Each structure stands twice: as C-alpha cells, then as structure tokens.
Amino acid sequence: MHISDIIEILIDFRNRREWKKYHTPKNLALSVAIEVGELLEMFQWKKDDEILKELENEDYRRRIGEEISDVLIYLLLLAHECEIDVEKALMDKIKKNEQKYPER
Ligand SMILES: [Mg+2]
C-alpha cells in the first residue's frame, strides 16, 4: 500500500462525515501538535530505562501506536490540504539529508 492509498482512505472517511469544512491547513497543523502532545504524554516524567521496561508491555506499545497514528493521520491530511505530494516531499528530503550528512 502506498501513502497515496492511505490518504485516499482518510479523505473518504472524513468526507463521509462531512468534516472537510473543519480541515483547514491551520486546524490540521494545530491537530498535529495536539496529537504530538498526546504522544509525549506517554513518555512524560519517565526515565529512559523505565520507558524501555514499559515498552515490554503490549498495551503500552498499542497506546503509543495509536498516538503515532493520530499524528500521521493529521500530517497526511495537512499535506493533502496543502496540495503537497507527501511521497515526493519525503523522498526529496531523504535525498537532501544524504547529501547534507555524508557517510563517514
Ligand atoms: Mg490521540
């Protein structure tokens, strides 16, 4: 499955619920930040070794996966509303990073 297929599923989901009117670039960018906050809550006040121990717990990993998904969903919707080809943008950025940070 390509990213564009996932975006299509997300657009269909939101259109069937008539949520397009809420999905302005600003609202989607705010939603990305809010969901990142929810993801960060999963790690708040925990030391690295405590997090590694918790990651052995399936429910903890599931909840982190849900927050990562929330972030990705809003990022993909934001890219769509900004008419950004996110697959191309991602690959261009990876290539740019390869040039910026050469191997040792
Ligand atoms: Mg969330």
DSSP states along 22-48: G--HHHHHHHHHHHHHHHHHTTTT--H
CA 88 / ligand 1 centre spacing (Å): 27
- Give the type of residue at 15: N
CA 82 / ligand 1 centre spacing (Å): 22
Residue 23 DSSP label: -
pLDDT at 51: 98
| pTM of full prediction above 0.85 | yes
pLDDT of residue 71: 98
How many Å lie between the centroid of ligand 1 and the Cα of residue 57?
19
- The mean of the pLDDT values for the chain is 97
Predicted pLDDT of residue 35: 98
Contact by Cβ (8 Å): 11, 81: no
Weakly modelled stretches of the chain, pLDDT under 50: none
Ligand 1 geometric centre to CA of 94 (Å): 27
CA 45 to chain centroid, in Å, comes to 23
